[in-house]
Structure 1
């Protein structure tokens, strides 16, 4: 699996349709469209659209964005879609993880989404690589050199993989994405364990912008439960090494100042950005100072790329962020 900073062919997304988490979907549709339109300024975007949402998609999306009519349940394409890989010759593959709605919860609908991984892989003219591991793209981050970040509460979740242990998960990640060294974090952010959470996706708390460096969500207010989580994750990462045996340089990415919304403690995180060709699409939270600090940190972490902020509050209200709704397809060299 190449690093997200590698050259990309396009970004894949899925447009929201009304369901248990989106409601009517008006605010969500506008937020998804804002992300897609921002990405389209840098590279091609292909948007999967359920027939019931096509009119809204056509109204809100930039005309350059390709629409593919596809039956959908949800719109978290990072998770329901495939993880793209390249072989030694540079040919494109698409790992089709088993998807069961983040652990087959009573609210999750995934009867259609379980086919999305293969559908996208075939549409991208990739070799589809089936996997029996229940996994989501938001549950892994790689450096492109063999290192993978993941959390114990996702891949080892008994609702996902009741018979898995670390060794079995690592063996499957080696087979599918070429990961030779796993860095296991003990958990994710607090809100991610509530009703509509993923039970700890790594892509909201830590990412690898370049080999040997980690951007870490830094909740600095001791009144927020993620203050302790940030400290725990830092402690684990300080003791970890990557596939090359290097210790990590840990770069704190401060959390927004907002601590709560109507539902409780927020999990707003600037870590949940997406890297595109020559750019970074960053989450914004309506906080001018905090959003600007995050842009500066991201600009330093990804030199030569323009950082664009898109308001992500409506996305986070549904349980994720900008990284969660996008999936990059690397440029094939074959």
Structure 2
């Protein structure tokens, strides 16, 4: 019975396999031992990591256009958890401190780290905190290569090991095992992982890696035993369609996404929409869906640039007592904020203006990374 149930979960993987080959695939994944488990985002945090924008890669305009978003995130998060701020150098640290103090933000719950970074996307290059079998916190350093060598990455790839060394936390070096960005995977905290093949099983990340091998890695290192795979769309922005741009686990029972027309607008393949809407958890139970709108209008930055496309609200971040939601100075901001508030009645939803950040391809979830208690 167990093998039959597992076979049903792996139908997408084994549909082209027969006989002994199919049994070998099932046995390999079944026999992979769970070594670590990743707490879900809504579990209690020690703090949140932010990589502060700087001028050394893309210039001072880039940095200055983004400062306000980082100030707003910091102000919202320090009410209930630490904020770990990565500054490029001591000059930038001093500049950030002055910005925060000018905004009336206490530095008492802020811990600065000086590490060189290429950019701000700590969700993708930062540490992945997991628990080992003894319930001890461990940092996993998955490989990061700039989303398939599309952007500079050497500095950011060093961040997890630098943090582990500073915090004196054990590190699991997975750089030679698998390239995997944090925004490429969603976990429900109950054994299920959701991802797009386009951002993981892609020759620019993991050449020749099979779905079976990826699942074995995720089972061993993240503790997930059930998988929802969408095809995604390679070449759909720099990430090759990360899952956290359009579908998230709101909790163990809920997937937060968009309606069909908006998913098609986001260029999600039609077969993926069907797969997503028919997703089941590891026990075969249907998920509840919360469908958020896109912004009503095309996003216009604070400096007047019309981006020519709408913005999503799915890329939110769950803090200890707050939920930070991307906002666009748009009529649908209040609609999305209220819908998300209904999902998290004990947390305060705070809209964060991400218009300038969105011009560079990301939103709130992309630039935050949780450190569990």
RMSD: 2.3
Aligned to 2:136: 91
Contact in 1 for aligned 2:260/2:273 (Cα 8 Å): no
CA distance, structure 2, for counterparts of residue 22 and residue 269 of structure 1: 27
1:239 pairs with 2:278: yes
Within-5 A mapping of 1:291-302 = 291-302=333-344
Deviation at 1:312, TM superposition (A): 0.9
Are 1:250 and 2:289 matched, yes or no? yes
Rate the CA distance shift 1:20–1:50 in 2: closer, same or farther, 3 A.
closer
Q: CA deviation at 1:193?
A: 2.0
Aligned match for 1:201, one of 239, 242, 252: 242
Q: Distance in 1 between matches of 2:285 and 2:291?
A: 18
C-alpha deviations, 1:213-256, integer Å up to 9, x for none? 1000347569x732x63865431123322222212222211111
Residues 246-274 of structure 1, C-alpha deviations (whole Å, 9 max, x = no match): 12222211111123665755362111111
* Equivalent in the alignment of 2:114: 69
User: SS of the residue aligned with 1:41?
Assistant: coil
Bigger CA radius of gyration: 2
CA separation in 1, counterparts of 2:134 and 2:147?
Answer: 33
Contact persistence 1:238–1:247 (CA under 8 A): no
Question: Are the counterparts in 2 of residues 16 and 22 from structure 1 also a CA contact under 8 Å?
Answer: no
Partner secondary structure for residue 109 of structure 1 = coil
Aligned length: 322
SS at match of 1:229: coil
Distance (Å, rounded) in 1 between the aligned partners of 2:282 and 2:167: 29
Correspondent of 2:51 among 3, 11, 14:
14
Q: Give distance in 1, aligned partners of 2:59 and 2:364.
A: 16
TM-score (norm 1): 0.89
Q: Distance in 2 between matches of 1:202 and 1:19?
A: 29
> In the aligned structure 2, how far is the partner of 1:143 from the partner of 1:121?
25
Is residue 53–residue 120 contact of structure 2 (8 Å, CA) maintained in 1? yes
Once the two structures are superposed, what CA deviation does each residue of 1:257-304 show, in whole Å capped at 9, x if it has no partner?
1236657553621111110112201111101x3111111111111231
Residues 180-199 of structure 1 aligned to structure 2 (within 5 Å): 180-187=225-232, 193-194=236-237, 197-199=238-240
- Distance in 2 between residues matched to 1:42 and 1:231, nearest whole Å: 41
Structure 2 gaps, min length 5: 1-37
1:259-278 to structure 2, matched below 5 A, reads 259=298, 265-266=308-309, 268-278=311-321
Aligned with 1:254: secondary structure?
coil
1:1-334 equivalent positions in 2, closer than 5 A: 1-18=38-55, 24=61, 25-51=63-89, 53-61=92-100, 62=105, 63-64=107-108, 65-105=110-150, 108-131=151-174, 132-187=177-232, 193-194=236-237, 197-218=238-259, 220=261, 225-226=265-266, 229=268, 232-259=271-298, 265-266=308-309, 268-287=311-330, 289-331=331-373
TM-score (norm 2): 0.80
What is the CA distance between 1:78 and its match in structure 2? Answer: 0.7
Deviation at 1:97, TM superposition (A): 0.6
Q: C-alpha distance in 1, partners of 2:56/2:364?
A: 19
Where 2:250 maps in the other structure, the secondary structure is strand
Seen in structure 2, the aligned counterparts of structure 1 residues 266 and 55 have a Cα distance that, compared at 3 Å, is farther
As a proportion of its length, which structure holds more strand?
1
In the alignment, structure 1 segments of 5+ residues that lack a partner are: none
Greater relative contact order structure (CA < 8 Å, 6+ sep): 1
Do the aligned residues in 1 keep the contact of 2:299 with 2:355 (CA within 8 Å)?
Answer: no
Deviation, structure 1 residue 123: 3.2
State the alpha-carbon separation in 2 of the partners of residues 22 and 183 from structure 1. Answer: 40
Matches of 1:140 and 1:267 in 2, distance apart?
Answer: 23
Structure 1 stretches of at least 4 aligned residues deviating more than 6 Å after TM superposition: none
